[in-house]
Amino acid sequence: MKKYIGIDLGGTNVRVAVVTEDGEILAQLKSPSYAKEGREKVFNNMIDLIKQLPGWQECAGVGAGVPGPCNQVTGSMMLDTNLPGFKDFPFAQAMTEALGIPSYIDNDANVAGLAEALLGAGKGLPIVYYVTLSTGIGGGLVIDGKCVSGKHGFTGEIANIIIDRNREKINYLAKGAVENEASGTAITRKVKALLGEGAVRHAGDVFQLATEGNEKAKMIADQAIGDLAQLFATLAAAVDPDCFVLGGGLMASADYFMEPMIEKYKEITHEALHDTQFFRAELEEPGILGAAMIPRSRGH
């Protein structure tokens, strides 16, 4: 059975693992990523960590999940907000040279989607759209077992999709951008504005208050449900996937919002799209597993 190296690289920590082609983690190591100490420190630490994994030389490929969009032609990151110095750095090529193994990188949401498409909730389906509902809103599109990145690496970067132009301007995103209206951060912000700063800690508290009958919390929760339904209707019209797989911290409250969201989705979509399946993400380690699946998806 083939084995791969998966890397989950963030601004705080880096994890590396040896993973089988069917998703079994055989060995795993974790370290601070040292992002504030510069690119060379981050990269060399990551390579040193990989070389401590038993059997790493036997792996057929290396995949790294990184924050932000990636250029799949150059194998580089297009933004380096969380990893200063990595923009336009030939990341994949440098890994190949350092390890002697074919290496690839992709956005962390894309690799989570790839994991769910190949190993998790979307396994066996041709077109899987993974959406993460958390502090922000992001996603990844997987077609026939391969991540679709697009010319600029922005496929699945859905935070700025507008669901209602008549909302207030919040930040650099457009007015009515779904991330500013239906993410965990947005839901919490709106309820704090109505009930006070100390009323809730996170979106889970908002859904709990709504369940208990708090009318203001219910109003915000129901608005978010409608906004998410509009997001999925827009994505379905553009992509027509076999399924949506939903992950992220907001899914802890899925019992409250998922079914009414699907019903609203059906109200605003063409009848032919009503049988699109909605699944909860299944995997506990989608980042590291998805990263390891990148070389598998490339034929290694």
Q: In the prediction, which pLDDT does 273 show?
A: 98
Residue 261 has pLDDT above 90, yes or no: yes
Q: In the prediction, which pLDDT does 138 show?
A: 92
Element (H, E) at 192: helix 184-195
Q: In the prediction, which pLDDT does 44 show?
A: 97
Considering the segment(s) 3-114+285-297 as one domain, its CATH architecture is: 2-Layer Sandwich (3.30)
Q: What is the DSSP letter of 70?
A: E
Residue range 101-112, pLDDT digits in tens: 999 999 999 999
234-273: string of b/e by CB count within 10 Å (b at 16+)? bbbeebebbbbbbbbebbebeebbbeebbebbbeebeeeb
DSSP annotation string for 106-161 = EEHHHHHHHHHHHTSTTTT-SEEEEEEESSSEEEEEEETTEEE--TTS-TT--TT-
Average the pLDDT over each of 36-45, 66-75, 122-131, 242-251 and give the range with the smallest value: 66-75
Residue range 42-62, pLDDT digits in tens: 999 999 999 999 999 999 999
Tokens of 57: 């030389």
Q: In the prediction, which pLDDT does 79 show?
A: 86
SS3 4: strand
SS3 180: helix
Residue keyed to tokens 């990269």: 43
Confidence of residue 20 (pLDDT cuts 50, 70, 90): very high
Do the domains 3-114+285-297 and 124-280 sit in the same CATH topology, yes or no? yes
How confident is the prediction for the chain on average, in pLDDT? 96
SS3 298: coil
How far apart (Å, rounded) are the C-alpha atoms in residues 117 and 23? 12
How far apart (Å, rounded) are the C-alpha atoms in residues 203 and 185? 7
Confidence of residue 82 (pLDDT cuts 50, 70, 90): confident
Considering the segment(s) 124-280 as one domain, its CATH architecture is: 2-Layer Sandwich (3.30)
Q: In the prediction, which pLDDT does 274 show?
A: 98
How far apart (Å, rounded) are the C-alpha atoms in residues 33 and 80? 14
Residue 201 has pLDDT above 90, yes or no: yes
Q: Beta partners for 244?
A: 129, 278
How far apart (Å, rounded) are the C-alpha atoms in residues 246 and 261? 12
Confidence of residue 173 (pLDDT cuts 50, 70, 90): very high
Contacts of 219 (CB under 8 A, 6+ apart): none
Strand segments, DSSP code E, in the chain are 3-9, 13-20, 25-32, 62-66, 70-71, 76-77, 103-107, 127-133, 137-143, 146-148, 243-247, 277-280
* Domain positions in the chain: 3-114+285-297, 124-280
How far apart (Å, rounded) are the C-alpha atoms in residues 39 and 47? 12
How far apart (Å, rounded) are the C-alpha atoms in residues 25 and 20? 7
Residue 290 has pLDDT above 90, yes or no: yes
Residue range 131-154, pLDDT digits in tens: 999 999 999 999 999 999 888 888
The stretch 95-101 carries a mean pLDDT of 98
Confidence of residue 80 (pLDDT cuts 50, 70, 90): confident
Whether 33 and 293 have beta carbons less than 8 Å apart is answered as no
Q: Beta partners for 17?
A: 6, 28
